[in-house]
Amino acid sequence: MKKFENKTVVITGAGSGMGRETAYRFAKEGANVIVVDLNEEPAKETVKAIQADGGVARVAVCDVSNRQQVIDMVDEAAKEFGTIDIMFNNAGVPMSSTKTEDVSENLANLLIDVNLKGVFFGIQAVIPYMQKQKSGVIINTASINGVKPRPFNSMYSATKSAVITLTKSLGLELAEYGVRVVGVNPVAAETSMLQGFIGDGDYGEGKEKFASTVPLGRLAKAEDIANAVLFLASDEASMITGSLIDVDGGRGA
């Protein structure tokens, strides 16, 4: 029997990068996967790849910063598959190196709305289902920047630090219901979002600069994060809650 046979997994930001890889991996292990993304076409590409390999997945277009959209998306998934077993709040937006005084109000609001409120709304939406069934795993994507911030990245680091605190707090709050709340702290990863961290600078040079700060000498790959997420969602991690795994090659040490 596959590890996540008959489990229903909701993954936000699953149209690319870490979300897409994790969606594919959950489907390979037998899960029914709800591929959530703000943009429909990338989400369809993820679903197509899953279905081509015999997996079960469907698209859900959703703006995670809109609480009602998140609730409706989760309700529809639960109605279709009967339950929500795993919620991976992964959607996020990057921030390039910016002096704090130069961070615009629009950028600050976007970072808070997606990186923090998007995670919070996802948690809120699945709590009733997981409390009722007395089981479930909520996994949040934070960042090693929330543990060991970089300069000129203040607002991004603040939102990710908040996700870390949220994860720890909810791990305690939901423990009595048998619901685990965990997370991952990735270092910069080789995904489409990396350009957003580099900004307008040379991509190759920026990539090398980020990699030079990682003791293991490379950036994370999408599969590195997927490995950690699947472990945290599995029965092997049944005694882990309120904790986050640093998938950072040692940068946060």
Catalytic residues: 156
Contact between 18 and 226 (Cβ < 8 Å): yes
Three-state SS sequence of 30-80: CCEEEEEECCHHHHHHHHHHHHHCCCEEEEEECCCCCHHHHHHHHHHHHHH
Contact between 63 and 87 (Cβ < 8 Å): no
Which residues touch 162 (CB under 8 Å, ≥6 apart)? 116, 146
- How far apart CA 107 and CA 253 sit, in angstroms, is 29
Q: What tokens does 234 get?
A: 């599995």
Q: What tokens does 204 get?
A: 């190759």
Find the distance separating the first CA and the last CA of the chain, reported in whole Å: 38
Contact between 129 and 84 (Cβ < 8 Å): yes
Cα-based distances in Å from 176 to 107, 130, 131, 172: 38, 11, 9, 8
